[in-house]
């Protein structure tokens, strides 16, 4: 699409909202299929569809959160039947969309082609970009391509089984026995998946791709995909954004022990590859440790943000996140009462939090994440602090405000303020990161922190986070670190008292107990 906007959009501007379409909103009862024989209920279709998403865009639900882009789980047709889950005991369906059976067909359960067109048009009217989750690693055994061209695929070795290690056999192993692995060294196979991506982007006016399971396909897959997408769309004056998923971990140790994690993710990013990737290192280093478990402090969080910014390729737009469809809900991870249950899928599963403590931790993590460089991700339901352990328990139906508890409504209100702050303050989106160590004068506490963002246009912002039970004050080097002149008045986007830069170039920042501030002129 060609966009006409007062300020040209950059992907740093995006707050990306991830929607698992089947678990969002049922906007059209006419396309529901009923219960699937043999399927475990939590692993079955629930009726969410593209019309439901369109309705929530139209009524301003996502605008209120400051959302600028939506990442949709795959919307190609998936099988109607249930298949064995990883435990080979329970049966689940392809409600999530990652088991495609058609190359170029929108799932009838989601509303088909007309519903996708209508949703994209509605999103664009609201200034929201749409990213398609594009599966290049595998198809379902019922896929038309597997039936027509079995030579395009690998079968046999299932990831994680004997002699088939996830890492050693990353390129050829199957995610499940019924998910044939695409062999991108077969030119015809690679060309078909590249052509299909161009078709989807062009036919439905999509704004980019989220490429699934990048490290499980040959590099030629993402390189050829990126080259063709740029050739077709950038020559015509449009930009299709490409973000990748390369799942890696984090080691609690000094360089060079995380070089493999950084290097593997970075390898696929650049002028000949993807525009950015999910920041798995930061997620494992900080989301868990500083915010969910609180086993590490704020200095730890600040270090790993600064460290990562030095490690990622120049110009990469990384996506910080604190939750996704592949992890237990943050609120459940942050709940000591559910310790040991977060990974349970089918029995003795995690329960709803008994108090507001876990959501309090979520709100602080969100304030941190939405203050960071990149295009942060908000997983549907996290805006109000939904709970649930491992898949499929982290994929409950989205609930509107009328169905939320008082604590959830309070969390939603806080998230709306954060999202609007990011949307309205250029420094929070495009500014360079000014570390806690640089911004705060004097001794640093580990229970709270302030960090800054300083934009090329001279705008600046300060984010403060405090996980302790009492207010903590800082002196921020507003003039030296952020370029703010004496007398500049700062307002708190979250409703706090704000402050004024004094004659020595400092501003007093008081962060409330278990709270946050977002200060800007």
pLDDT digits (tens, 9 = 90+) for 333-360: 999 999 999 999 999 999 999 999 999 9
The pLDDT value recorded for residue 222 is 96
What is the rounded CA–CA span in Å between residue 459 and residue 60? 28
Confidence of residue 181 (pLDDT cuts 50, 70, 90): very high
Nearest partner of 70 among 20, 125, 107, judged by Cα: 20
Percent of the chain with pLDDT over 90: 97
The pLDDT value recorded for residue 4 is 84
Question: Do the beta carbons of residue 372 and residue 434 sit within 8 Å?
Answer: no
- What's the rounded mean pLDDT across residues 371-379? 99
Confidence of residue 385 (pLDDT cuts 50, 70, 90): very high
For the chain, give the mean pLDDT.
97
Please report how the helices 259-266 and 298-311 are oriented relative to each other, as an axis angle in degrees rounded to 10: 50
Backbone dihedral angles phi then psi of residue 148, each to the nearest 5 degrees = -85, -35
Integer-rounded Cα radius of gyration of the chain: 23
Nearest partner of 65 among 116, 123, 122, 16, judged by Cα: 16
Confidence of residue 187 (pLDDT cuts 50, 70, 90): very high
Architecture of domain 431-520: Sandwich (2.60)
Question: Do the beta carbons of residue 467 and residue 447 sit within 8 Å?
Answer: yes
Tokens coding 57 = 């865009």
Tokens coding 515 = 């709270």
Nearest partner of 376 among 279, 517, 494, judged by Cα: 279
The pLDDT value recorded for residue 156 is 86
Nearest partner of 416 among 31, 24, 73, 63, judged by Cα: 63
The pLDDT value recorded for residue 458 is 94
pLDDT at 223 over 90: yes
Q: Where are the domains of the chain?
A: 431-520
The pLDDT value recorded for residue 3 is 85
The pLDDT value recorded for residue 275 is 98
Burial of residue 217, with CB atoms counted within 10 A of its CB: 0-12 exposed, 13-18 middle, 19 or more buried: buried
- Given the structure tokens 């392809």, which residue do they identify? 94
Question: Do the beta carbons of residue 484 and residue 503 sit within 8 Å?
Answer: no
Nearest partner of 403 among 72, 25, 66, judged by Cα: 25
Neighbours of 232 (CB within 10 A): 16
What is the rounded CA–CA span in Å between residue 400 and residue 406? 13
Question: Do the beta carbons of residue 131 and residue 239 sit within 8 Å?
Answer: no
Tokens coding 92 = 């689940």
pLDDT tens digits for range 460-488: 999 999 999 999 999 999 999 999 999 99
DSSP run (H or E) holding 276: strand 276-277
H helices, E strands: number in the chain = 15, 20
Backbone dihedral angles phi then psi of residue 269, each to the nearest 5 degrees = -110, 140
Question: Do the beta carbons of residue 224 and residue 231 sit within 8 Å?
Answer: no
pLDDT at 1 over 90: no
pLDDT tens digits for range 396-433: 999 999 999 999 999 999 999 999 999 999 999 999 99
Q: Degrees (nearest 5) of the Cα angle 232, 236, 237?
A: 120
The pLDDT value recorded for residue 237 is 85
What is the rounded CA–CA span in Å between residue 122 and residue 107? 19
The pLDDT value recorded for residue 2 is 78
β-partners of residue 208 are: 131, 241
What is the rounded CA–CA span in Å between residue 151 and residue 26? 39
Question: Do the beta carbons of residue 436 and residue 444 sit within 8 Å?
Answer: yes
DSSP run (H or E) holding 518: strand 515-520
Question: Do the beta carbons of residue 45 and residue 33 sit within 8 Å?
Answer: yes
Confidence of residue 6 (pLDDT cuts 50, 70, 90): confident
Neighbours of 185 (CB within 10 A): 11
Which sign does the torsion angle of CA 62, 65, 66, 68 carry? negative
Tokens coding 234 = 């950038």
Burial of residue 181, with CB atoms counted within 10 A of its CB: 0-12 exposed, 13-18 middle, 19 or more buried: buried
Q: Degrees (nearest 5) of the Cα angle 323, 102, 209?
A: 40
pLDDT tens digits for range 18-77: 999 999 999 999 999 999 999 999 999 999 999 999 999 999 999 999 999 999 999 999
pLDDT tens digits for range 229-257: 999 998 888 999 999 999 999 999 988 99
Q: Given the DSSP bridges, would you call strands 507-511 and 472-476 parallel, antiparallel or unpaired?
A: antiparallel
What is the rounded CA–CA span in Å between residue 446 and residue 42? 40
The pLDDT value recorded for residue 153 is 98
Nearest partner of 243 among 442, 93, 125, 70, judged by Cα: 70
- Give the total residue count for the chain: 521
List the single range of 141-145, 157-161, 300-304 with lowest mean pLDDT. 157-161
Residue 141: partners with Cβ closer than 8 Å, 6 or more residues away: 178, 179, 180
Question: Do the beta carbons of residue 23 and residue 95 sit within 8 Å?
Answer: yes
pLDDT tens digits for range 96-150: 999 999 999 999 999 999 999 999 999 999 999 999 999 999 999 999 999 999 9
Backbone dihedral angles phi then psi of residue 434, each to the nearest 5 degrees = -110, 115
The pLDDT value recorded for residue 464 is 99
Which sign does the torsion angle of CA 135, 140, 145, 150 carry? positive
The pLDDT value recorded for residue 511 is 98
- What 3-state DSSP class applies to 222? helix
- Given the structure tokens 């994440």, which residue do they identify? 369
Burial 365-396 (b: 16+ CB within 10 A, else e): bbbbbbbbbbbbbbbbbbbbbbbbbbbbbbbb
């Amino acid at each position: 699409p060609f966009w006409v906007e007062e300020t040209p959009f950059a992907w740093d501007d995006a707050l990306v909202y991830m929607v698992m379409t089947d678990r969002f909103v049922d906007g059209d009862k006419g396309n529901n299929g009923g219960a699937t024989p043999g399927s475990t209920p939590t692993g079955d279709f629930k009726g969410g569809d593209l019309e439901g998403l369109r309705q929530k865009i139209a009524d301003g639900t996502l605008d209120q959160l400051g959302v600028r882009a939506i990442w949709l789980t795959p919307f190609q047709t998936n099988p109607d039947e249930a298949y064995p889950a990883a435990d080979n005991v329970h049966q689940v369906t392809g409600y999530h969309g990652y088991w495609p059976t058609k190359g170029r067909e929108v799932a009838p359960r989601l509303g088909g082609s007309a519903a996708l067109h209508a949703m994209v048009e509605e999103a664009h009217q609201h200034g929201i970009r749409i990213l398609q989750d594009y599966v290049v690693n595998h198809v379902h055994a019922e896929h038309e391509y597997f039936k027509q061209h079995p030579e395009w695929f690998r079968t046999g070795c299932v990831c994680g089984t004997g002699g088939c290690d996830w890492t050693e056999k990353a390129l050829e192993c199957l995610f499940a026995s019924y998910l044939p692995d695409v062999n991108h060294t077969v030119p015809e196979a690679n060309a078909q998946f590249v052509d299909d991506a161009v078709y989807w982007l062009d036919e439905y006016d999509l704004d980019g791709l989220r490429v699934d399971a990048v490290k499980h396909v040959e590099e030629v897959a993402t390189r050829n995909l990126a080259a063709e997408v740029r050739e077709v769309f950038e020559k015509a004056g449009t930009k299709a954004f490409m973000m990748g998923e390369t799942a890696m971990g984090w080691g609690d140790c000094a360089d060079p022990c995380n070089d493999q994690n950084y290097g593997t993710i970075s390898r696929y990013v650049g002028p000949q590859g993807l525009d950015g990737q999910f920041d798995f290192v930061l997620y494992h280093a900080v989301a868990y440790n500083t915010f969910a478990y609180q086993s590490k402090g704020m200095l730890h969080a600040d270090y790993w943000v600064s460290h990562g910014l030095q490690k990622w390729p120049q110009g990469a737009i990384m996506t910080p996140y604190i939750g996704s469809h592949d992890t237990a809900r943050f609120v459940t991870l942050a709940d000591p009462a559910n310790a040991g249950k977060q990974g349970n899928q089918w029995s003795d599963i995690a329960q709803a939090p008994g108090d507001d403590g876990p959501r309090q931790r979520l709100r602080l993590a969100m304030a941190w994440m939405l203050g960071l460089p990149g295009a942060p991700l908000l997983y549907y339901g996290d805006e109000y602090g939904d709970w649930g352990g491992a898949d499929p328990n982290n994929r409950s139906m989205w609930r509107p405000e009328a169905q939320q508890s008082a604590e959830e409504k309070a969390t939603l209100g806080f998230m709306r303020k954060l999202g609007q702050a990011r949307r309205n303050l250029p420094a929070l989106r495009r500014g360079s990161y000014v570390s806690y160590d640089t911004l705060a004068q004097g001794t640093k506490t580990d229970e709270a922190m302030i960090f800054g963002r300083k934009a090329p246009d001279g705008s600046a912002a300060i984010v403060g986070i405090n996980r302790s039970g009492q207010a903590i004050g800082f002196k921020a080097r507003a003039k030296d670190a952020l370029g703010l002149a004496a007398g500049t008045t700062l307002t708190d986007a979250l409703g706090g008292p704000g402050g004024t830069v004094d004659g020595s170039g400092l501003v007093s920042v008081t962060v409330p107990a278990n709270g946050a501030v977002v200060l800007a002129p």
